[in-house]
Amino acid sequence: MNQIITVGTSHHIAPLDFREKLSFSESQLTEALQLLTEQPDVREATILSTCNRVEIYAVIHSKDGGAVLSEFLSNYHRIEPQELKKFTYSHQDVDAVRHLFNVTASLDSMVVGEPQILGQIKEAYAQSLAAGATSDILNRLFAKAISVGKRVRTETNIAAGAVSISYAAVELAKKIFQSLEDKTVAIIGAGEMSELTARHLVKNNVSQVIVANRTYQRAVDIAKKFNGIPLAYDADLSFLVEADIVISSTDAPHYLIDRPALAEIMKQRKHRYMFLIDIAVPRDIDPEVSKVDNAFLYNIDDLEAVVAANLEDREQEAEIATQIVKEEVAKFQSRLQTFEVNPTIKALHQQFQGVASRELGTCLDKAQLTSKQQKMVEAMTQSIIKKLLHQPTKNLRQIALNPDLIEATDDSDGDHLQYVRTLQELFGLEETDTTE
């Protein structure tokens, strides 16, 4: 029988160095998919490879499809089987479906609700489709998985709210200014967090970036990344007059911006709003600055509180998303079980049609029938076939949808496929691949 199998690793169980060893570059994917589908038991395959996870989804005609995929990964990446076993997981059939749906819904992501994974899955599936590595089962599975991801984003707020310090700063800036398109950002210092925050602000169309640093060359290096203006920082804060958003992250032992200095700057700005982000520890900006009219000051704790609240909200939304996934898994499993018996039902109908056509042909050759009479006989033959096969077909589909109707015996697991095998043996049907 065909099984849906996934074998892979992710940030949940494997360190970065192992994920790197197991990853597939874009140039490797087509070759890997070709090699994988050339395996005798592998019918279909898709490879998902991102910085946080590497997974193979496959349809395999084997009792141990997980071993087939693990052996492929071990051989392809030259990883010892024991190491591979330590840092990988395997899911089969309904568990594999549930896992994929959780991934597309971003419930399995490092940050729940992150938007990138759905696009990455779409791309992985598109590459597999282009390589001719998928057929009916994975085509249906990935189409539904992508649909589930979209449904979760539509019906929940799982992706709402910033869940990183830099994104939280950008969201707060948007609340203050509505639009960032004509705003100027001033970076004081050249810390990694301030640079990352500035990068997100630039993506949101701020018009100008000023970088002030005690080491001028460092200011030049950072400013180049944003097509910005480098300055050698000194106690003169006059450059802040043009700044709508200020990001400060230095290792100074004292405040760089105090209340009197900022009050004077705000006068020169004619009290236009200024958003100040103090990411430094110890702080660069005197907390008293928040008392200056139209100056909005947030420090690292403020931003972390925003992130924590958003994460809590996302966890609540994740509960709703989990119920959606549960519902969609049940629907897909029912369709898949019916889909598994369809080829045998089709083969049975074809066999009856073949016998009827041959016998009818012999009869019509001997009989002297008018055209109208011939059509009546043909219609009657089709009606007999439909009535003969109606109940067996109905029963087989019902059993596929409700395996509990089957009573297990000593030599059977009580699954619906025993009925398929019995039908194939009784009527001499050729075993039909469900992927065709």
Show which residues are catalytic.
51
DSSP-derived letter for residue 179 is -
- What's the CA gap between 45 and 59, in Å, rounded? 6
> Is beta strand 245-248 parallel, antiparallel or unpaired with respect to 184-188?
parallel
Q: Which long-range contacts (CB under 8 A, 24 or more apart) does 79-83 make?
A: 79/21, 79/22, 83/18
Strand, helix or coil for residue 110: coil
Residue type, 4: I
DSSP-derived letter for residue 281 is S
221 in Cβ contact with 213 (< 8 Å): no
Instruction: Tell me the CB-side half-sphere exposure of residue 82, using CA atoms within 13 A.
Output: 0
Longest dimension (CA), the chain: 113
- What's the CA gap between 42 and 243, in Å, rounded? 60
| Nearest residue to 273 via CA among 303, 243, 228, 315 | 243
- What's the CA gap between 406 and 419, in Å, rounded? 9
Adjacent-strand bridge partners of 286: none
| Nearest residue to 396 via CA among 323, 317, 342, 332 | 342
139 in Cβ contact with 434 (< 8 Å): no
- What's the CA gap between 35 and 84, in Å, rounded? 19
- What's the CA gap between 408 and 405, in Å, rounded? 9
- What's the CA gap between 400 and 334, in Å, rounded? 8
Residue by residue, DSSP assigns 54-87 as EEEEEEEESTTHHHHHHHHHHHHHT--HHHHHHT
